[in-house]
Amino acid sequence: MQDLRQVALGQPTVGEEEIEALREVFASGWISGAGPTCVTFEKEFAAAVGTSHALSTSNCGSALHLALQVLGAGPGDEVIVADYTFPATGHSVMWTGATPVFADVRPDIGTIDPEAAAALVTERTVGIIAVDLVGQPADYDELRALADKHGLWLLEDAACSAGATYKGRPAGSLADLAAFSFHGRKGITSGEGGALVGDDTDRMDLARKLHTYGIAPAVSREGSNALAVPSFDVAGYNYRLSDVQAAIMRVQLRRLPDLVAARSRAADQYAEELGDLEQISLPVVLDDRTHPWQSYLLTAGDGVDRDAVVMALRERGVGSNIGTYSSHVQPVYGSAQECPVAARLFRTQFALPMHANLTEDDVSYVTSVVREVVGGAGVRA
């Protein structure tokens, strides 16, 4: 039997430029965290996302935690969180001692429904976390109006949205603070890593202090004529990105426009070749925002068993998985809320291969297998 073709669900785009960047940072002698390469990357990343400051972090979860710390979330507080997201979003709230209160999402693009969020505001509410689902930004004008009305802060979980825009503004500049991920499946990647960005100097200075055990990073003391011995007055964390990863990210950031363009071409081909398939629904992209296509999510229609589809695609060499999680049904949160839209998306959405290395032939193979699978009797619910 001939081996099946394999098309990976996600795949980084890395090559000689990244390898050369690694050689340079190795030769510099500074490969640990929060060093000079991180400083340079942070300046470049802040410029790319349209903010005054950027802080490189060990991952997006640590960036979210730092954001919540400097925004002042703590025990007794409630934070409204988009329900349809990887649980790192809700977890970050729990790490502060605050309570995540999950808001249902829009049925078309899966981002937080501003009306659902508004219905959850209480005297204990301190802020809102919007999630840019697989990269497409949420409704930030409406969310900002809601936050301002009640004196709340607004945090953008931009884990997937490097390269996205909302009404001409880049993701990362759409809320009080924003957190990005550089995990291996993201649009730009160093394997792991993340960033916190924002315009408020006091908040970002405090985040920088907290992310290095509660002191300024060592690079800030380089070149001093005196023995600079820092004093610890707060218990911080080790949330630093290494300079090795920062070197990779500098190259990845330069690649970003080309990577988004390649993913967009694949998304367009998927839409063209699957648009007439009645058993599934294609992703919706709103006219006032740019989608960077971190993932490509289809929605199984009535009578189609999503889980069976995913397993059948994998058996035929096509990488596939669920979309993401409905947070309120996860046991860790003990939530009594109901978010029916997010729960339905959790049951019905599934991801197709999406990365910048996909060829037209790869996409055509995937779409042919999707047609074969969803049309088969074995995936009928």
Catalytic residues: 186
Burial class, 164, CB count within 10 angstroms (exposed 0-12 / middle 13-18 / buried 19+): buried
Are 78 and 122 spatial neighbours (Cβ–Cβ below 8 Å)? yes
The rounded distance, in Å, linking the Cα atoms of 154 and 161 is 16
Looking at the DSSP bridge assignments, the partners of residue 130 are 156
d(CA 18, CA 143) in angstroms, rounded, equals 38
Alpha-helix residue ranges (DSSP H) falling in the chain:
16-28, 36-49, 60-71, 88-95, 114-118, 140-150, 201-210, 243-274, 306-315, 340-348, 360-374
Nearest residue to 242 via CA among 186, 190, 172, 288: 190
Length, in residues, of the chain? 381
Q: What gap in Å lies between CA 127 and CA 302, rounded to an integer?
A: 36
- Amino acid residing at 210: L
